[in-house]
Amino acid sequence: MAGEGHHVLTDEDVQALDRRAREVGGVIGWDLQFVVAPNAEYVGLAAGGGAEHAEEIIVLGPSRITDLAVHEIDLALDALQRGERHIAANGTSFSTKTATPG
């Protein structure tokens, strides 16, 4: 947004979002983490790590903070925790898939 300066998260914001991502990841069986890009105006949600998922892959983002990225990540974490969305591995990439009734 022109004229409004830079938008970045505080260290406390980043730690709280990362804690939440790791908690949700523990519930759903994925190593999730909130990540900040080298340009701190961009953030995302990453999955990976562990024996089965050795490489970290961005599953949401990177998106600009000014484009409601944090809100979108928070909503995605809610949906993952409730089982409404799932992380599906597809080769070297991941995506969140909406759960289908069954």
CA of 44: how far to CAs of 2, 78, 100, in Å? 22, 15, 25
Q: Which of 23-27, 45-49, 63-67 is least confident?
A: 45-49
**Token representation of residue 49:** 């790590």
- 46 vs 50, more confident: 46
Say if pTM beats, i.e. exceeds, 0.85: no
Residues 11-25: what's their mean pLDDT? 96
In the chain, how long is the greatest CA-to-CA distance?
50
* Amino acid at site 62: P
| pLDDT reported for residue 11 | 94
Place of tokens 């990976």: 48
> Where are the domains positioned within the chain?
11-98
